[in-house]
Amino acid sequence: MSRIFIALTPDGNFNKEIINLKHSLKKELIKGAEIAWSDDKHHHITINFNGYMEPEQIEEMYTKFEEIEIMGGVLNLEITGISYFPNENGQVIVANVNLSSQLQKLQQQVQTLVAQIGFDTELKGFRPHITLARFKDKNRPLRELKSFEDPFKASFNSLDVYESISNKGKAKHNLIKKFKF
């Protein structure tokens, strides 16, 4: 059994922008706090977290994902700012991704297809984001994070399936399949 999630993965250039954003946060906003920063190779926007799946379920999901189409073959997204997750009291720092109609449609398609193979779809609202860091200390400093006047823009052309492996409390994400739009 594998622990599976579906995500959008930034290309190399967009990933460099995310890394630069993290460096500026380290310098400007959160000096001295105990923070676990996300691995620079693990940035992604989770579309759906399936959990543990049998190999047969994964293969059935792959077949269904062949049906997904994005108009024009490209999904354009924007990072609009930095905030805490899941709310202002959260311990996670994220880059907020604008929930465009195109992204919302993709997320709904994925949820519908995953439900067809027997996985519950989450009823909570979809808040697209890229995890940047987690505070180690529950008494994190209270700081206002920022919005961007000019959002970071990126294009995605595939939906990615990852396996998440936990090792000594740290998650490692292995890309196992890409589906071009």
What gap in Å lies between CA 25 and CA 54, rounded to an integer? 40
What gap in Å lies between CA 9 and CA 178, rounded to an integer? 10
What gap in Å lies between CA 52 and CA 42, rounded to an integer? 20
Please write the tens of the pLDDT for every residue from 102-152. 999 999 999 999 999 887 765 568 899 999 999 887 777 667 777 888 898
CATH classification at residue 38:
3.90.1140.10
| Residue ranges making up the domain that contains 99 | 2-180
Given a cut of 80, whether residue 18 has pLDDT beyond it is yes
Q: What is the mean pLDDT of the chain?
A: 88
- The number of distinct structural domains making up the chain is 1
pTM: 0.89
Examine residue 86 and say whether the peptide bond preceding it is cis (omega within 30 degrees of 0): yes
